[in-house]
Amino acid sequence: MPSYRPLVSNPHLLTILANFWPRNLDFSPYLTESRLFRTAPDVQVLVQTERPRGQSRGELILVHGLEGSAEAGYMRTMAKAALDAGYVVSRFNIRTCGDTARLANTLYHAGLTCDLLSVLNHLREEGRIPVHLVGYSLGGNMILKLAGELGEDAQRLLAGVCAVSTPIDLEACAKALGKPENFLYDRKFLTALRARIRRRHKLAPRMYTLEHLKKIHTIFDFDDFYTARLFGFGTAENYYRTQSANQFLDQIQIPALVVQAKDDPLIPFSVYDHPAFDTNPTLKLIAVDHGGHVGFIARRNPRFWVDHTLLEWIAETNKEKRSLVS
């Protein structure tokens, strides 16, 4: 694992710096394709794929976080690092994200694994699996949950999964987001989610009513009035209970790496005091003292430390798999 000395120790600064850090990335040497996958009769998702020239070392699918897209900074830096290392990289836009709201009548949630599974099955038909999944924040919860749901069957689709800054306990993390010190993050997410409901209301006013918007003061409120009801969970508590990745960690049977900062302002590190990290041999947790939320900006190169940590682990996983086959 590359050595890591954080640029600063303040978790809020690391979180904000990672969001605004300039990324002058040149993707021109790589072959690029944007493709729509139909995952349900009324749903399409956008996947943006870049390929290195020549023989690839494997394929990665990156999954972004809440209100993100394939163009999020952390998605782009990881894609560039992986391409430079010789991997095919697909950046997956979660349902209605990445300017694709017109392609689905529904929203998304932290446990919505069906679209990603459908794309994986499409790739299997094309002979492009197994792949590594890399998920960030909400995307991390999604890929860990999917790996657990699939259990042993995951081996036909996935070489492994990597989750970064992952809210494996959705209720605990929703409560953490509502703390006064996290006001800026809370406002940012709520503003984006309210705007999303207003846009959906114009297309489907009966499904996406505006009557509850004035009652929305926290992420918990949004999930209680909208996410839980629109997806049939009933309440936010039931949504969090059934869709949190911590309910599926014991069932994961493929290599799984989880990278987490102990000072993540949005994720109490106590949620990682989960027995599966001791009892499930396929799970590996890398916990660092400082990193913020999807931050991990290092003082020295590699600046984006987490990218190179994931790539090193993926390479080692592939090496171990080849040795077992031989």
Nearest to 274 by CA among 244, 314, 295, 242: 244
Confidence band (pLDDT; 50, 70, 90) for 322? low
Confidence band (pLDDT; 50, 70, 90) for 219? very high
Answer whether residue 325 shows pLDDT above 60.
no
CA 72 to each of CA 18, 21, 79, 171, 213: distance values in angstroms, whole numbers, following the listed order: 10, 11, 11, 25, 27
Lowest pLDDT segment from 101-110, 177-186, 262-271, 317-326: 317-326
Confidence band (pLDDT; 50, 70, 90) for 324? low
Query: Mean pLDDT across the chain, nearest whole number?
Result: 95
- In order of start, what are the domains of the chain with their CATH numbers? 11-169+244-325 (3.40.50.1820), 170-243 (no CATH)
Proportion of the chain above pLDDT 90, given as a percent? 91
| pLDDT at 297 (0 to 100) | 97
Question: What are 35's strand-pairing partners?
Answer: 47
Q: From CA 262, how far away is CA 292, in angstroms rounded? A: 8
Answer whether residue 37 shows pLDDT above 60.
yes
**Predicted structure pTM score:** 0.96
The token pair that represents 312 in the structure block: 């090193």
Arithmetic mean of pLDDT, 182-200:
94
CA 307 to each of CA 77, 83, 134, 227: distance values in angstroms, whole numbers, following the listed order: 7, 12, 10, 31
Arithmetic mean of pLDDT, 221-233:
96
pLDDT tens-digit map of 46-78: 999 999 988 899 999 999 999 999 999 999 999
Alpha helices in 178-304 (DSSP H): 183-203, 219-222, 228-230, 236-243, 276-279
| pLDDT at 187 (0 to 100) | 94
